[in-house]
Amino acid sequence: MNQPSDTQPTDQELLLRFKADGNGQWIGMLFDRYALLLLGLCMKYLKNEEDARDSVQQIFLKVLSDAHKHDIVFFKAWIYQVTRNHCLMQLRHHKDVELKESHMPGVAEQEDPTPHVQKDEMLAHMQEALGLLGPEQAVCVRLFYLEKKSYQEIADQTGFSMLQVKSYIQNGKRNLRILLEKLSKNKR
């Protein structure tokens, strides 16, 4: 990285020359001073040399088109920020593409029917397991989980006490889980 010497124009002088005559050579000289810094910064963010080199070229083109639009006091700080923003946008774009690809099945890909089959099997097992529960537990579990009744509504409907309803639901839920595990193992 060349530092401006007594014979070389400062960053500010090169910017003023570029804004005065539009000659890209002035920006090129500025860019040569900071190319390694920008490449290193791009490598830090993008973790890929080819992507980093492409980004440095894109940033150069951006500087050529945008330098006229900004009142740049410290070129090094400005170009650093432009580079950082560019890299963050590249990363965001890459992440968005990955998300879209992971959520969209390709043309050749078909949705896996396995989850639907497993859900149907689980519902069949659930019906079978409910039939294997004791009658009090089965009634309370059906009313509570399938019909969304409260403890009080179940007690009123069945004639059980609140304590019995809670007990039947708690024990029924545990027994249902055990029965479902057994049924799924037996069907494999």
Q: 99 with 118, same domain? A: no
Tell which of 70, 103, 136 closes a domain.
Answer: 103
pLDDT at residue 5, as a whole number:
53
pLDDT 10s digit of each residue in the chain, 188 long?
555 556 889 999 999 998 899 888 988 898 889 999 999 999 999 999 999 999 999 998 888 888 888 888 888 889 999 999 999 998 888 777 776 666 655 544 455 555 555 666 666 667 777 788 888 988 898 888 888 889 999 999 999 999 999 999 999 888 888 888 887 777 65
Residue 108 included in any domain? no
pLDDT at residue 3, as a whole number:
54
Cα–Cα–Cα angle for 21, 23, 28, rounded to 5 degrees: 140
Query: Could you tell me the pTM of the whole model?
Result: 0.49
Q: 99 with 137, same domain? A: no
What is the C-alpha separation between 140 and 124, in angstroms, rounded? 19
According to DSSP, residue 173 is labeled H
Q: 24 with 97, same domain? A: yes
In this structure, what CATH number is given to the domain that contains residue 136?
Answer: 1.10.10.10
